[in-house]
C-alpha cells in the first residue's frame, strides 16, 4: 500500500521545505535591509574639476547641488548646463552600479529557492 498525502520522501521532505522557508525568510529580511541601506546612502559626484557638485540619495533624489561662482558665466550658460548634466548623470550611474553590486549577492541564492 502506498503513502497518502504529504511530501514525497515523508518527514524528511517536510523538514527540507521548512528549512527552505526559513532560509527564504532570512534572505527576504536581508534583502529589505540592503534596500533600505541603499536608499539612505548619499552619493556625491563632481564635474568640471569640482566646479559643480551633486549629492544624491539612493532613491535618485538630489539632496544638494553646489555650483562654484567662478563657473557662472552669463555668456556661456551651455557649459554650466553641461557640467550639471554630467554630474547628475554620473551620480545616477554610480548609484545604479552600487545597487547592482549590492543586489547581485541575492541573484544566485534566489534562483536556488525558486
**pLDDT tens by residue, 52-103:** 999 999 999 999 999 999 999 999 999 999 999 999 999 999 999 999 998 8
Q: Which pTM does this prediction carry?
A: 0.69
In this predicted model, what pLDDT tens digit does every residue of 17-53 receive, in sequence order? 888 888 888 988 998 998 898 888 999 999 999 999 9
Q: How many Å apart are CA 58 and CA 80, to the nearest integer?
A: 25
Q: How many Å apart are CA 65 and CA 44, to the nearest integer?
A: 10
Cell output for 60: 535618485
| Residue owning grid cell 533600505 | 36
Q: What pLDDT does 107 receive?
A: 74
Hey, what domains does the chain have and what are their CATH numbers?
11-113 (3.30.1310.10)
Q: What pLDDT does 113 receive?
A: 47
Amino acid at each position: 500500500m502506498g503513502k497518502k498525502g504529504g511530501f514525497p520522501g515523508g518527514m524528511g521532505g517536510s523538514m527540507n521545505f521548512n528549512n527552505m522557508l526559513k532560509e527564504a525568510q532570512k534572505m527576504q529580511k536581508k534583502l529589505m535591509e540592503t534596500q533600505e541601506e541603499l536608499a539612505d546612502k548619499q552619493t556625491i559626484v563632481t564635474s568640471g574639476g569640482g566646479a559643480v557638485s551633486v549629492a544624491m540619495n539612493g532613491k535618485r533624489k538630489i539632496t544638494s547641488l553646489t555650483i562654484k561662482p567662478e563657473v557662472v558665466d552669463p555668456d556661456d550658460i551651455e557649459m554650466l548646463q553641461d557640467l550639471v548634466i554630467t554630474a547628475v548623470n554620473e551620480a545616477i550611474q554610480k548609484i545604479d552600479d552600487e545597487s547592482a553590486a549590492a543586489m547581485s549577492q541575492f541573484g544566485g541564492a534566489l534562483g536556488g529557492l525558486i
